[in-house]
Amino acid sequence: MKVLDDIRVLDLCHVWFGPWCCMMLADFGAEVIRIEPPWGAIDRAAEGALKGGSSYTFHHLNLNKKSLTLNLKEPEGAEIFKELVKVSDVVVQNFSPGAMERLGFGYDVLKELNPKVIYAALSGFGQTGPYTKRRSYAMIAEAMSGHTRLTGESHDPEGPPIEMAQAYGDLGPGTMAAMSLLAALRYRDRTGKGQMIDVAQFDCMSAYNTAITAYLLFGMTPREIREKYPMGRGGIGGILKTSDGGWVRLAGFGPRGMDKMKEWMEVEEPTKEMLEERVASMTRDEAVDLFVGMGLPVAPIYHVNETIEDPHLNARDMFVEVEHGKAGKLKLLNFPVKMTESPGEVRTASPVLAQHSREVLRELLGVSDERFEELVKAGVTSKPM
Ligand SMILES: CC(C)(COP(=O)(O)OP(=O)(O)OC[C@H]1O[C@@H](n2cnc3c(N)ncnc32)[C@H](O)[C@@H]1OP(=O)(O)O)[C@@H](O)C(=O)NCCC(=O)NCCS
């Protein structure tokens, strides 16, 4: 038994934000049907390198899902989608606001079709407010919620803004959306009622920014607070270069860390310069072993190839091997959280485009093989190529 194996999700998402949200539900066992146009969504081939016809981001963000192609702008495609809504629990989309309504699938329509449906509309700025119509990607929300300036200032207070690597402006809000969907499912279990969920990247990335609370309370950024009120026993640490060209990240903050540092350096007032000098004469492994031995939080700074090989991550079953319809066996990341009773897990690779079109239409709507062929011919759906 998987905790969500009685839940069906129609995943009308693209790129990172929405696909990640729906994958969280799929990992807990929901039947997630990713619906793309017959020509494939924009994230299928978003990056140059393709494996089995899909980009690495598609492989990362669409595990455990089925693929159905439907041209929703064709009247027959729209009708099929409406029939699917009637037999589903959740609908998620992350188009720019207005696109879902232009297709004829606003929440008013969805709830008419299925009053118990839970509908999540994911977007950059939400379904209301002055910026609602603006398109967005992760970096747009990161920029406006303050993260990009803060990242730059943490490197150099006078320097330019710096973007975070990867796209936490997608995965963070995507996780919030998945969490809200679980809350809505719980609400529906208790009341029988569906609802609409409006998740904005800008809202979520602001909620992830503790510097906003610093400013609300003190009118200062965390850096300004530290400068104005230096803590006498504040620790030292940071990113430190080692003799073999490697780097370590030491977080020797707090009184306990400072006491250890004083003892090790045999000085009353350890400074960052003293620390840098000592670490520069050690290899990366020596430095990590030393600080681990001292009980300080420390890490070697890895490239991803080293992350993949790390024995600890492997011992915690963070990698799985799955069979992809076109690319064969793939080693990929597993669901990260461990649970004693109802864990999430990666069971299947991302689907090939249209891999489950025939199966989904037959099993859920009783579409015959003959009718399916007609729909393919009419460009309403498609088969895997
Ligand atoms: C990501 C984003 C910038 C992409 O913009 P875009 O490529 O112009 O796409 P839009 O979402 O505006 O529109 C999607 C279009 O595809 C169409 N479409 C989507 N699925 C379809 C299907 N199965 N069949 C037919 N048409 C389909 C929609 O109807 C819409 O068409 P329209 O503009 O003619 O009404 C935009 O979707 C967006 O801002 N989304 C919200 C924020 C977000 O999630 N960003 C991505 C973070 S990873």
CATH number at residue 265: 3.30.1540.10
Q: Do 252 and 326 reside in the same domain of the chain? A: no
Q: Is 133 within the bounds of a domain?
A: yes
Please give the pLDDT value at position 346: 98
Please give the pLDDT value at position 236: 81
Atom of ligand 1 nearest to the CA of 17: 48
Please give the pLDDT value at position 90: 99
Please give the pLDDT value at position 26: 98
Residue where a domain terminates, one of 246, 279, 305: 305
Six-digit token string for 246: 């490697």
Q: Is 58 within the bounds of a domain?
A: yes
Q: Do 237 and 342 reside in the same domain of the chain? A: no
Q: Is 179 within the bounds of a domain?
A: yes
Q: Do 111 and 85 reside in the same domain of the chain? A: yes
Please give the pLDDT value at position 233: 45
Residue where a domain terminates, one of 259, 286, 305: 305
Reduced DSSP (H G I as helix, E B as strand, rest coil) percent helix, strand, coil of the chain, to 5: 40, 15, 40
Mean pLDDT by 10 residues, the chain (385 residues): 97 98 98 98 89 96 98 98 98 98 98 98 98 98 98 93 96 98 98 98 98 97 87 74 98 84 92 94 98 95 98 98 98 98 97 98 98 98 96
Please give the pLDDT value at position 376: 98
Number of domains observed in the structure of the chain: 2
The Cα 27–Cα 348 span in angstroms is 10
Please give the pLDDT value at position 252: 79
CATH number at residue 144: 3.40.50.10540
From the CA of 95, how far away is ligand 1's center (Å)? 4
Please give the pLDDT value at position 234: 60
Q: Do 99 and 187 reside in the same domain of the chain? A: yes
Q: Is 36 within the bounds of a domain?
A: yes
Q: Do 301 and 325 reside in the same domain of the chain? A: no
Range of the domain at 66: 8-208+316-377
Q: Do 287 and 322 reside in the same domain of the chain? A: no
Q: Is 43 in the pocket of ligand 1 (CB under 6 A)?
A: no
Residue where a domain terminates, one of 255, 270, 305: 305
Burial class (CB in 10 A: 0-12, 13-18, 19+), 330: middle
Please give the pLDDT value at position 123: 98
What's the distance, Cα to Cα, between the start and end of the chain in Å?
Answer: 33
Q: Is 383 within the bounds of a domain?
A: no
Q: Is 100 in the pocket of ligand 1 (CB under 6 A)?
A: no
From the CA of 15, how far away is ligand 1's center (Å)? 9
Per-residue pLDDT tens digits for 61-75: 999 999 999 999 999
Of 134, 205, 198, 144, which Cα lies nearest the Cα of 169? 205
The Cα 80–Cα 14 span in angstroms is 20
User: Using CA atoms in the order 55, 61, 64, 68, what is the torsion angle rounded to 10 degrees?
Assistant: -60
**Entry pTM:** 0.96
Q: Is 114 in the pocket of ligand 1 (CB under 6 A)?
A: no
